[in-house]
Amino acid sequence: MTPRNEARAYRIWALGNALKWECTQEEIADELGLHRKTVWRICKAKGWKTSGAVMGDPNRPGVDQLMNNRFMQGRER
């Protein structure tokens, strides 16, 4: 991770820790003025979990249904 992203990670960690991670990645991005995808990538790399359905969350409704769709079966992923 680049020094810039390490600094961003610290800011995300500090905010998330203060809120006991009872926030979404979108809320963190808005509060810190970061792009939502940046927050998502950093949280994923660090293994930090936030509350709520967020971009890239495998438990988000619809993802399992899409991947288990009969038209998707047998396709390379």
Question: What is the separation, in whole angstroms, between the first and last Cα of the chain?
Answer: 27
| Domain of residue 56, residue span | 3-67
Residue 74, domain member (yes or no):
no
Residue 24: the pLDDT is 86
Sign for the CA dihedral angle at 63, 66, 69, 71 comes to negative
Residue 6 has pLDDT above 70, yes or no: yes
Residue 23, domain member (yes or no):
yes
Residue 55 has pLDDT above 50, yes or no: no
pLDDT in tens, 10-27: 999 999 888 888 888 888
* Alpha carbons 38 and 43: distance in angstroms, whole number: 9
Tokens standing for residue 22:
């009872």
Q: Assess contact for 66 and 72: CB atoms under 8 A.
A: yes
Instruction: Average the pLDDT over 16-39 and give the result.
Output: 89
Total count of domains within the chain: 1
- The CATH code of the domain that includes 27 is 1.10.10
Nearest alpha-carbon partner for 1 in 36, 58, 10: 10
Instruction: Average the pLDDT over 28-53 and give the result.
Output: 88
